[in-house]
Chains A and B, each alone.
Chain A
Amino acid sequence: MLSIVELCCSLGKRRVLESVSAELPDGSATLLVGANGAGKTTLLRCLSGLVPTSGGAVRWNGTETRLGGDDWKRTVGFAPDGDAVLEDLTAFEQLVLAGELFGLPSSSARERADSLLAVLDLTDRRDAQAGSLSSGTRKRLALALALVHGPSVVLLDEPLNGLDVAGAFRFVELVRFLKSRGRTLVVATHEVDFLAGVADSLLELERGAVARRREAGPQAAGSERRAIRAEELPWL
């Protein structure tokens, strides 16, 4: 169980997260939704330890964890929205390097790299330099990088950005699989319609605070839908 307790974060003088609290059970997928600038990415970055928090706590299985500490780094895997790949290495090489960075023996890192590449349909790009990959392929590679050390908590920032339809469906299958293996997923996304079916709950952020918590489901995004009326754009 991942417990976020009144987490606060300030970037400069600006308060970006305001007392965010949530309980995320093992084997669950939580969608972080909200408008641009609501604090979704910052929350993920705080949880990954990339951005320091200014208050609150995070507990993992009842024990308070030091975000950014080595133990937590082994527990969490983070795929950011921006570029997370190493341009100078091929897809396979950087997955092996990532595995070795987390202390895996070289042979084991190679096995994991190959299996992740296969699952994410990247085998044909195995030996391509990351700098030459398309944005969707880089996204899948970033996802693989986040998973190579077998983290218990997986943080994904806009994972569907740049993915084609096949890649997006593959991602949904991966989320299902990770849940079935007891992994806790936190996914910041605008694609609520697409992911609602596989998610367990929605956490809606508004100006850095939790505005609403909802059960996920096919109807989850319904409240955000608002048809554009003819009188709103009469000139079009």
Chain B
Amino acid sequence: MTLVRALRIVQARRFRPSAYPGFYGNLVALAAGVIALRLLANVYLAGVMAAGRPGGEALAFLRANLCWVLVVSATLLPAIALRSQSGLLDCERARLLPLRGAYRSAVFAALLGPQGAVALLLALASALGLLAAPRGVWLGGSLFALAALAGCACLFALALLAFRLLGAGSREGTVVEGASFALLVAANPELLSGPGGPTLRLFGHALVRLSDAGGPLDLALGALAIAVCLAAAARLAQAARAIQGSSFRRPIVKLYIRGVSAPLLALSLVAEIGAVALVRRDPELVGAVLGAAIGLQALLFLVFLARSEQLFNGSLGAPAGFRDRARVYAPALFAHVAICLLPLALLAGLAL
């Protein structure tokens, strides 16, 4: 649904949010993401300012990083869980309701409380949600936790990279916010492509526009560009999946290709190329960038595994021994590794 079409619907007064299942959920999830990222930018900027003072550097750095991890884990974990539950069975989805409840409660808390407490609340809510994760899909729950940890690690590394590359300045908050917003939406493209997509985009723009981290026009244009690019990427990814998926013989590989987050996978591949480009310019950064890319790729595969748990724990109820799982997942893992190594192989080929 395009923005223009959405506006026409609103104009024609045919738009009723209650007619769209998940509309309010998406709206709240996006608001949570933007609020959390707003907090992150503020906390980071506070950390940068404190770092300039004698003796305050270590403490500020620690504080900024701790809040970063808390906020990102609080944002990413429920986002992954909510996205993954679409593949679950009714009973399993019902068991995940506490997770959704905790997430939404945290969002409302975020609207009310002071920043530090809110970050903690969000993280606690996520942890509680995880503890309440269903026994029947315990492996899925564990994988969510692993995915969140991996996500935190690689996003942290990517953010550090962004700061290092762009240098200190008043636009850091904008960069962090923009990048994190992009990552959040890239991990949940349905936020843009779902029925509430156009309104969510407008909502996101309005929130970012109100930000004081950079010039309003820059922010608005930046957010608009990100939103447009992501919407286009999500559509392209959908089309690419349908085409690519049909060229593989093994169904599990098709399941992987069609289920993996294409924008995030593309981001990790670009990071790989970036790492190679940095070998001569800034060797110190190569490890961090490559680590971030590999972390993100590991995260994507873990999310795929978590989503595929229904093959073993759902109504299909396939034998779930280690060997059975290894046999089923091996082709998907090979495909994943091959895709992840593709840029490096291409660059090596060009260098030779």
Contacts and interface: CB of A to CB of B under 8 A. Distances in A.
A77 B256 CA distance: 25
Contacts of A68: 317
B251 interface: yes
B133 to A, nearest CB: 16
B89 A73 contact: no
B310 to A, nearest CB: 8
B317 A100 contact: no
Interface of chain B: mostly helix, strand, loop or mixed: helix
Given A88-B255, A89-B254, A94-B251, A103 B90 contact: no
Contact of A103 (B251, B252, B312, B324): B324
B314 A103 contact: no
Interface string B77-94: 000000000010111000
Interface string B250-279: 111011001100000000000000000000
A70 interface: yes
A44 to B, nearest CB: 10
Interface in B301-324: 311-321, 324
A16 to B, nearest CB: 12
A12 B90 CA distance: 16
Contacts of A86: 87, 255
Interface residues of A, number: 34
Nearest to A127: B246
Interface stretch (A22-30, A32-40, A45-53, A185-193): A45-53
B97 interface: no
Interface residues of B, number: 29
A93 B319 contact: no
Interface string A125-167: 0000100000000000010011000000000000000000000
A85 to B, nearest CB: 9
Nearest to B312: A101
B318 A73 contact: yes
Contacts of B251: 89, 93-94, 96-97, 100
Contacts of B226: none
Given A93-B254, A101-B328, A74 B315 contact: no
Contacts of A70: 319-321, 324
A50 B91 contact: yes
A49 B87 CA distance: 19
Interface of B: 87, 89-91, 136, 242, 245, 249-252, 254-255, 258-259, 311-321, 324, 327-328
- Which 4 pairs of residues, A with B, have the shortest CB-CB distance? A101-B318, A97-B251, A70-B319, A88-B258
23 contacts: A45-B91, A49-B317, A78-B317, A83-B89, A84-B89, A84-B315, A84-B316, A86-B87, A87-B87, A88-B245, A88-B254, A88-B259, A89-B258, A94-B251, A96-B251, A97-B255, A98-B318, A101-B324, A102-B319, A103-B324, A103-B327, A145-B316, A146-B315
